[in-house]
Amino acid sequence: MSEMRHNWTKEEILEIYNKPFMELLYEAATVHRLHHDPNTVQVSTLLSIKTGGCSEDCGYCPQAARYHTDVEGNDLMSVPQVKAQALRAKEGGSSRVCMGAAWRNVKDGEEFDQVLEMVRTINKLDMEVCCTLGMVTENQAKRLAEAGLYAYNHNLDSSEEYYKEVISTRGYQDRLDTIDNVRKTNVTVCSGGIIGMGENIEDRAGMLVALSTLNPQPESTPINALVAVEGTPLEDQEPVSIWDMVRMVATTRIVMPETQVRLSAGRTQMTREGQAMCFFAGANSIFAGDKLLTTPNPDVNEDMKMFELLGMKPQKPFTKKVQPQTVEAQDSQIEALGEKPRWTRPEHKIERNEAARALRKQD
Ligand code: SF4
């Protein structure tokens, strides 16, 4: 029931997803207990170090410059600003800081050097550092690893088929190539997706096939419920039901037994009872802080009260893997190559993305 497999098929995953609810919950909880302490939750704080103005067309994202949303963009944060936020996160019980920049891909230069300095600074605070900066080359991943990065996040978002209905400015293979580049270092991989974007259950299973057949499987997998933001192409999507969320978490737990499954966006729409069901089904990580990049998230104190109620404790940093060493910039052995990789631009037409973009033009 809990062996590590990298050959899951869509049919097998669908069969798990569609099991009678109680049976699914019981199986997932059993796998969870075999691989994890069920009373421990890994807590991450997500920090938007560069917000808005993104060139991509991800249909769910209020940071895409082409859609009309209320997101106010800002330039890259300074290292002292990031350090102050990281210290606050640590005091609030987070073991990890995840820094997100609204970039299509990493570009060598001053801004990336600044991000590397942020990584060094947070690692020296004895916190796990994660970055989500878009697509990265092998050399860039190595530079991040050398700075002391613990994890790199790059979500697959959905199945390969449905991905084409949401994003036209880059291809699924680019996502997989970035994950592959990260895997050539000792940085752990964080990759998951979003449900509630209009995909069907086969697409959810397809995404889990793509994730679970990676070898090794991602060390962490965020499961997001879409937060439909006004002005984005997906603004009219109905909220995901808690039952779907629990099924998705439970199925992820069963097919990826060692992975930390993270409840991510959409937690404000869930009751405590709903979240407790997700923890029972195998979720063992959350994002803390009142904002997730640009969308709302429960208050930290509320989360701590929920943990107390459930008898759960935040996981200590470096429980799953030892702390990486930080190499200072002046001692670095890896030079910036100034690469200009050819990431794909399929640019096929997605009607709802075009419609949202046209609305922006009328303003
Ligand atoms: S999800 Fe990332 S890449 Fe896509 S539009 Fe938003 S910030 Fe840009």
Binding pocket residue ranges, ligand 1, CB within 6 Å: 54, 56, 58, 61, 63-64, 102, 104, 134
State residue 288 phi and psi, 5-degree precision: -105, 165
- Cβ burial, residue 70 (10 Å; 0-12/13-18/19+): exposed
Q: Determine the distance from the C-alpha atom of residue 85 to the mean position of all C-alpha atoms in its chain, rounded to a whole number.
A: 19
State the catalytic residue, choosing from 66, 98, 131, 175.
98
Residues with Cβ within 8 Å of 243's Cβ and at least 6 positions away in sequence, in order, are 21
Query: What is the amino acid identity at position 269?
Result: Q
Q: Determine the distance from the C-alpha atom of residue 35 to the mean position of all C-alpha atoms in its chain, rounded to a whole number.
A: 21
Spatial distance between the Cα atoms of 252 and 231, rounded to a whole number of angstroms:
31
Residue 359 structure tokens = 């609305």
User: Ligand 1 centroid to 293 CA: how many Å?
Assistant: 11
What b/e readout covers 215-245, taking b as 16+ CB neighbours within 10 angstroms? eebbbbbbbbbbbbbebbbbbebeebebebb
Coil, strand or helix: which one is 167?
coil
> Of 203, 144, 158, 107, nearest to 326 (Cα)?
144
With beta carbons less than 8 A apart as the criterion, state whether 253 and 286 touch. Answer: no
User: Ligand 1 centroid to 35 CA: how many Å?
Assistant: 33
Q: What is the pLDDT along the chain (363 residues), one digit of tens a residue?
A: 567 899 999 999 999 999 999 999 999 999 999 999 999 999 999 999 999 999 999 999 999 999 988 888 889 999 999 999 999 999 988 999 999 999 999 999 999 999 999 999 999 999 999 999 999 999 999 999 999 999 999 999 999 999 999 999 999 999 999 999 999 999 999 999 999 999 999 999 999 999 999 999 999 999 999 999 999 999 999 999 999 999 999 999 999 999 999 998 888 889 999 999 999 999 999 988 766 666 666 777 888 899 999 999 999 999 999 999 999 999 998 999 989 888 989 989 999 999 999 987 666
State the catalytic residue, choosing from 190, 204, 247, 278.
190
Spatial distance between the Cα atoms of 257 and 30, rounded to a whole number of angstroms:
10
Residues with Cβ within 8 Å of 330's Cβ and at least 6 positions away in sequence, in order, are none
> Counting atoms of ligand 1 from 1, which one is nearest the CA of 101?
7
Q: Tell me, yes or no, if 131 is annotated catalytic.
A: no
Q: Tell me, yes or no, if 190 is annotated catalytic.
A: yes
Residue 62 structure tokens = 């209020």
On the question of a cis peptide bond just before residue 216, with omega within 30 degrees of 0, the verdict is: yes
Residue 58 structure tokens = 């991800």
What b/e readout covers 322-354, taking b as 16+ CB neighbours within 10 angstroms? eebebbeeeeeeeeeeeeebebeeeeeebebbe
Q: Tell me, yes or no, if 61 is annotated catalytic.
A: yes
User: Ligand 1 centroid to 61 CA: how many Å?
Assistant: 6
State the catalytic residue, choosing from 61, 96, 131, 247.
61
Coil, strand or helix: which one is 25?
helix
> Counting atoms of ligand 1 from 1, which one is nearest the CA of 55?
8
What b/e readout covers 51-68, taking b as 16+ CB neighbours within 10 angstroms? bbebebbbbbbbbbbbbb
Helix/strand/coil percentages in the chain, nearest 5: 40, 15, 45
Residue-level pLDDT at 293: 63
User: Ligand 1 centroid to 31 CA: how many Å?
Assistant: 34
State the catalytic residue, choosing from 120, 262, 267, 278.
262
Residue-level pLDDT at 361: 66
The closest residue, in CA terms, to atom 2 on ligand 1 is 102
- The answer on whether 278 is annotated among ligand-binding residues is no
With beta carbons less than 8 A apart as the criterion, state whether 94 and 43 touch. Answer: yes
Spatial distance between the Cα atoms of 258 and 251, rounded to a whole number of angstroms:
13
Q: Tell me, yes or no, if 278 is annotated catalytic.
A: no
State the catalytic residue, choosing from 96, 130, 143, 253.
130
User: Ligand 1 centroid to 26 CA: how many Å?
Assistant: 36
Query: What is the amino acid identity at position 206?
Result: G
- The answer on whether 131 is annotated among ligand-binding residues is no
Which domains, from first to last, does the chain contain? 10-317+337-362 (3.20.20.70)
User: Ligand 1 centroid to 65 CA: how many Å?
Assistant: 9
Q: Tell me, yes or no, if 98 is annotated catalytic.
A: yes
Residue 213 structure tokens = 């057949």
With beta carbons less than 8 A apart as the criterion, state whether 93 and 315 touch. Answer: no
46, 47, 56, 353, best to mutate for ligand 1 pocket (most atoms within 8 Å of CB): 56
